[in-house]
């Protein structure tokens, strides 16, 4: 018999967070261990987010089935348009630019059972089932009543940011468990090498487990990539809002208020850097990160690097940072963005663990005979705390941090050096470390002067221009150019906070009249009356996405010649960029933070 415990609505992002918290709390109260609680919460969160994103909202109903074996049931019901291509989605053969299907299949793997009832125009119901552990006692009506009362009495104190941090912690624990399973598998492999008995049966079992591990590793990489993208959106909102406040865009601040806002921004910035490292790491592991080489001057790059590191050196006044380019000019053909990331990681790491003395960067080109074999050798040395010999290889492992007094002052994920080594290898080079406790550390990097490995077509990397550069370079009707009084601009985006940020930036730089729409149909209706000269569109919107909206604008009799700028947080490949070829510009939402 299925006994209902409670239900809650899903109409906002906060409701999605609440449903996730309720799922975790209920799983705990009925006796699931921490790992199973995380699985239930993650699966429910994915389906609740689908209801919010694709159906505009819905309701979550929590219940317990007391029949043998007892199980926990969560029903997510919406009145949306239904799920087309359901069989393809569940089989993993459906490809969607919005990511539809990834969460559904991920949730199905996390739960014991998942059933879907959907039909066009009548909504969707997704029931998630998690069986109780074998031997678990049946919950009687009084016990369920007590659980319900305790669940209702729990205050929802987690903010979205705190929930993100909790999800990160759960993710790290899952990764640690995965590493433990991998170690167990390696131990089994060594045992197999020591005996010839039962070789066929044991190798069959090993192959099965290895395949499961590969699938788990692939799922981990996919999960990292998808979840870090989910983290970036609210984090970007926090960074942008705090920037607006610190810059006094909405009025003066009290000294104590400014201090509090800067603390919030600092915490969000740390989390932002962590998320970016996780995202880069997952891309490298999945082989989805492209090398985009360009020609650049090493001397000019080092000059820019000095300026870039000034805020960090200001935090270490007793440490002198010296960056010495080669004695002769050197032109590099490599991925400048990844090269800069390598240098920033090594220099910031050196400054972090050096309390006095200096951090010195030196570079020289070594000729190995042929011109194409010229190598750039860079050394980043410091007079810091040093690294014990037994730890000098471990520092390149993921999530490893060596215990020390300075380490306790500088919390992090232990991803920086792991990512740095992978980026160095991606550019065709190698990295080594020499260190002595209490004396200092030297990281040595050797990179080809001319990168010759695989790259993304004939792509030549260029810096991403900011918002103002995009607008000023966008061809517009001569009758009302940007800069004229009261230029009309339309923003079509389902996220209110993103419209707010964009409007604030536009208002601060141009004298313009701005109209807003939260959906494509609404935006088209406003555009016919408002007659904007420039339209900003988001890509990930419900019902009609930005790709389809761009086509509708280009086929619209009145709007087809209007300038369109795509303003999105999505990562776009060549296929997506081809679909957006008729737009005047493509601008990442993260550029707002960099203006």
Range of the domain at 477: 467-594
Top-confidence residue, 129 or 370: 129
Query: Residue 44 contacts by C-beta under 8 Å, 6 or more apart in sequence?
Result: 19, 20, 23, 60, 74, 76, 107, 128
Could you read off the pLDDT of 414-428 as tens digits, one per residue?
Answer: 677 888 888 899 899
Q: Are residues 405 and 533 in the same domain?
A: no
Indicate whether 148 and 185 sit together in one domain: no
283 vs 5 pLDDT, higher one:
5
Query: Residue 1: pLDDT band by 50, 70, 90 thresholds?
Result: confident
Report the pLDDT averaged over residues 315-343: 88
- pLDDT value for 99: 56
Domain-located, residue 114: yes
Give the pLDDT confidence of 515-553 residue by residue, as tens digits. Answer: 999 999 999 999 999 999 999 999 988 889 999 999 999
- Relative to beta strand 440-448, strand 375-382 is antiparallel
Residue 457 lies in a domain: no
Rounded Cα–Cα distance for residues 423 and 513 (Å): 45
Residue 475 shares a structural domain with residue 420? no
pLDDT at 443: 94
Are both 343 and 404 inside the same structural domain?
yes
Task: Lowest mean pLDDT of 57-71, 179-193, 265-279, 457-471, name the range.
Answer: 457-471
Q: What are the CA-CA distances from residue 411 to residues 270, 271, 591 (Å)? A: 9, 11, 27
What is d(CA 566, CA 546) in angstroms, rounded to the nearest whole number? 8
Looking at 259, 286, 313, the residue that finishes a domain is 286
Q: Is the pLDDT of residue 284 over 50?
A: yes
More reliable by pLDDT, 385 or 593: 385
Helices (H) then strands (E): counts for the chain: 18, 17
Tens digits of residue pLDDT in 88-116: 888 777 666 665 566 788 888 889 999 99
Q: How far is residue 92 CA from its own chain's centroid?
A: 22
15 and 67 in a single domain? The answer is yes
Co-location of 196 and 142 in the same domain: no
pLDDT on residue 457: 39
Tell whether 307 and 243 lie within a shared domain.
no
Give the CA distances from residue 591 to residues 71, 90, 196, 558, 568, in Å, rounded to whole numbers and listed in that order: 47, 36, 60, 30, 10
Instruction: Look at residue 158 in the predicted model and tell me its pLDDT.
Output: 56
- Do residues 489 and 531 touch, judged by C-beta distance below 8 A? no
Mean pLDDT (whole number) for 286-295? 77
Assess whether pLDDT exceeds 50 at residue 200.
Answer: yes
- pLDDT the model gives residue 590: 67
Same domain, 13 and 149: yes
pLDDT in tens, 213-240: 777 766 666 666 566 556 766 777 788 7
In a domain, 55, yes or no: yes
Does residue 376 share a domain with residue 250?
Answer: no
Q: Tokens at residue 320, please?
A: 């002198």
Q: Would the pLDDT of 482 be above 50?
A: no
Same domain, 441 and 501: no
> Is 552 inside any structural domain?
yes
- pLDDT given for residue 462 in this prediction: 34
In DSSP notation, 437-479 reads TTTEEEEEEEEESB--S--STT----PPP-HHHHHHTS---TT
Is pLDDT at 167 greater than 50 in this prediction?
yes
* CB-based burial label for 359 (10 Å; 0-12, 13-18, 19+): buried
355 and 483 in a common domain: no
CATH number for the domain that contains residue 558: 3.40.50.2300
- Please provide the average confidence, as pLDDT, over all residues in the chain: 80
Percent of the chain topping pLDDT 90: 27
**End residue of a domain, out of 129, 158, 187:** 158
Residue 300 and residue 272 in one domain: no
Q: Which residue has the tokens 């014990």?
A: 388
pLDDT computed for residue 483 by the predictor: 46
Residue 456 belongs to some domain of the structure: no
**Element (DSSP H or E) covering residue 499:** helix 496-509
Number of domains in the chain: 4
At which of 286, 318, 342 does a domain end?
Answer: 286
Q: How far is CA 194 from CA 164, 187, 198, 201, 208, in A?
A: 46, 11, 12, 15, 20
Tokens 């005979």 sit on residue: 369
- Which tokens hold the place of 399? 């999530």
Q: Is the pLDDT of residue 381 over 90?
A: yes
Residue 459 forms part of a structural domain: no
CB burial string 281-313: b at 16+ within 10 A, e below: bbbbbeeebbbbbbebebeebbeebeeebeeeb
CA 212 to centroid of chain Cα atoms: 25
Is residue 460 one of the residues assigned to a domain?
A: no
- Structure confidence at residue 497 (pLDDT): 82
The CATH number of the domain where 387 resides is what? Answer: 3.30.565.10
Inside any domain, residue 453: no
Higher pLDDT, 459 or 570: 570
Out of 275-284, 482-491, 537-546, the most confident range is: 537-546
């Amino acid at each position: 018999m299925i006994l209902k415990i409670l239900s809650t609505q899903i109409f906002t992002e906060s409701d999605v967070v609440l449903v996730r918290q309720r799922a975790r709390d209920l799983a705990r109260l009925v006796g699931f261990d921490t790992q199973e609680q995380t699985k239930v919460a993650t699966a429910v969160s994915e389906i609740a987010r689908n209801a919010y994103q694709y159906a505009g909202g819905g309701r979550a109903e929590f219940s317990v089935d007391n029949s043998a074996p007892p199980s926990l049931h969560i029903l997510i019901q919406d009145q949306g348009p239904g799920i087309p291509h359901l069989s393809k989605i569940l089989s993993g053969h459906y490809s969607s630019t919005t990511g539809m299907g990834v969460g559904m299949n991920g949730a199905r793997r996390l739960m014991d059972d998942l059933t879907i009832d959907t039909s066009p125009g009548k909504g969707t119901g997704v029931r998630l089932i998690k069986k109780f552990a074998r031997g678990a006692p049946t919950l009687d009506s009084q016990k369920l009543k007590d659980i319900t009362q305790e669940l209702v009495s729990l205050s929802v104190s987690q903010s979205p940011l705190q929930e993100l941090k909790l999800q990160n912690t759960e993710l790290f624990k899952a990764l640690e468990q995965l590493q433990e399973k991998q170690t167990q598998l390696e131990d089994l492999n060594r045992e197999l090498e020591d005996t010839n008995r039962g070789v066929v049966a044991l190798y069959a079992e090993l192959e099965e487990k290895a395949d499961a591990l590969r699938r788990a590793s692939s799922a981990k990489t996919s999960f990292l990539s998808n979840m870090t993208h989910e983290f970036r959106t609210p984090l970007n909102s926090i960074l942008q809002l705090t920037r607006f406040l610190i810059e006094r865009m909405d009025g003066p601040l009290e000294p104590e208020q400014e201090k509090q806002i800067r603390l919030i921004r600092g915490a969000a910035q740390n989390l932002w850097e962590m998320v970016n490292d996780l995202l880069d790491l997952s891309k490298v592991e999945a082989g989805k990160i492209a090398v985009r080489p360009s020609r650049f001057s090493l001397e000019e790059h080092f000059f820019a690097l000095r300026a870039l590191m000034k805020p960090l050196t200001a935090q270490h006044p007793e440490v002198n940072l010296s960056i010495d380019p080669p004695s002769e000019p050197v032109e590099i053909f490599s991925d400048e963005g990844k090269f800069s990331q390598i240098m920033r990681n090594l220099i910031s790491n050196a400054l972090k663990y050096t309390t006095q003395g200096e951090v010195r960067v030196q570079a020289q080109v070594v000729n190995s005979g042929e011109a194409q074999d010229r190598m750039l050798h860079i050394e980043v040395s410091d007079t810091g705390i040093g690294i014990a010999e037994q730890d000098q290889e471990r520092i390149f492992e993921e999530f490893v941090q060596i215990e020390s007094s300075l380490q306790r002052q500088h919390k992090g994920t232990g991803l920086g050096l792991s990512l740095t080594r992978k980026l160095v290898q991606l550019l065709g080079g190698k990295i080594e470390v020499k260190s002595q406790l209490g004396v200092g550390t030297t990281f040595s990097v050797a990179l080809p002067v001319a990168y010759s490995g695989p790259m993304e077509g004939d792509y030549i990397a260029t810096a991403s221009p900011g918002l103002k550069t995009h607008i000023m370079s966008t061809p517009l009707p001569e009758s009302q150019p940007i800069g004229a009084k009261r230029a009309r601009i339309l923003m079509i985006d389902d996220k209110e906070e993103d419209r707010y940020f964009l409007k604030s930036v536009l208002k601060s730089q141009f004298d313009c009249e701005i109209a807003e729409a939260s959906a494509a149909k609404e935006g088209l209706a406003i555009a016919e009356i408002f007659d904007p000269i420039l339209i900003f569109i988001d890509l990930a919107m419900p019902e009609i996405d930005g790709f389809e909206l761009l086509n509708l604008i280009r086929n619209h009799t009145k709007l087809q010649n209007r300038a369109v700028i795509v303003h999105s947080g999505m990562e776009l490949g060549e296929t997506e960029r081809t679909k957006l070829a008729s737009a005047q510009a493509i601008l990442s939402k993260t550029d707002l933070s960099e203006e």
